[in-house]
Amino acid sequence: MAIERTLSIIKPDAVSKNVIGQIVSRFEAAGLKVIAARMMQLSRSDAERFYAVHAARPFFKDLVDFMVSGPVFVQVLEGENAIQKNRDLMGATDPKKAEKGTIRADFADSIDANAVHGSDAVETAKVEVAFFFPELNIHSR
């Protein structure tokens, strides 16, 4: 299986619940390595650009409001099959539908405040990693 990199964001709801460490522990226990990380406050423009693919969706404004409502923890995870592995650990977008034991089932309150973001494909992972960590391109695999 390929060694991949994926972008993970611990969203403002989970940061405010003080569970960054618990979430990162799950990535580590699953064999994913944190190779870059930063705590930051997104600007509206950051959030709008990051979620541009959803710009026409009815939930877009609420999503941007939520993503700028407090600090987020952005990180790059690396490991075998990292993109799908992270998605499996996260669980379904709607925590009510997320499998038991997933991050969203355990830490998220609603479909909009759903604790984590994770890239969903190789191409989006590349773009999203570069969005927050352009310096990683210098030694990209």
Name the residues annotated as catalytic: 117
Integer Cα distance of 19 and 5 in angstroms: 22
In whole angstroms, the minimum distance from the beta carbon of 126 to ligand UDP comes to: 16
Among 5, 26, 85, 117, binds ligand UDP (CB under 6 A): 117
CA neighbor of 82 nearest in space, from 41, 39, 31, 44: 31
Q: Which of residues 69-108 bind ligand UDP (CB under 6 A)?
A: 93
CB burial readout 21-52, b (16+ within 10 A) else e:
eebbebbeeeebeeebbeeeebeeebbbebbe
Taking contact as CB under 6 A, which single stretch among the options 42-50, 68-76, 95-103, 114-122 is the one that binds ligand UDP? 114-122
Which part of the chain contacts ligand UDP (CB under 6 A), choosing from 1-9, 37-45, 73-81, 110-118?
110-118
Q: How far is the CB of 93 from ligand UDP (least distance, A)?
A: 3
- Does the footprint of ligand UDP cover residue 46 (CB under 6 A)? no
Q: Nearest to residue 62, comparing CAs of 102, 12, 96, 99?
A: 12
Smallest gap from residue 141 Cβ to ligand UDP (A): 24
Q: What is the DSSP string of 100-128?
A: TTSHHHHH--SSSS-SEEE--SHHHHHHH
5 vs 117, beta carbon nearer ligand UDP? 117
| 135 contact partners, CB below 8 Å, separation of at least 6 | none
Rule CB under 6 A: is residue 112 a binding residue for ligand UDP? Answer: yes
Q: Which residues contact ligand UDP by CB under 6 A?
A: 54, 59, 63, 93, 111-112, 114, 117, 120
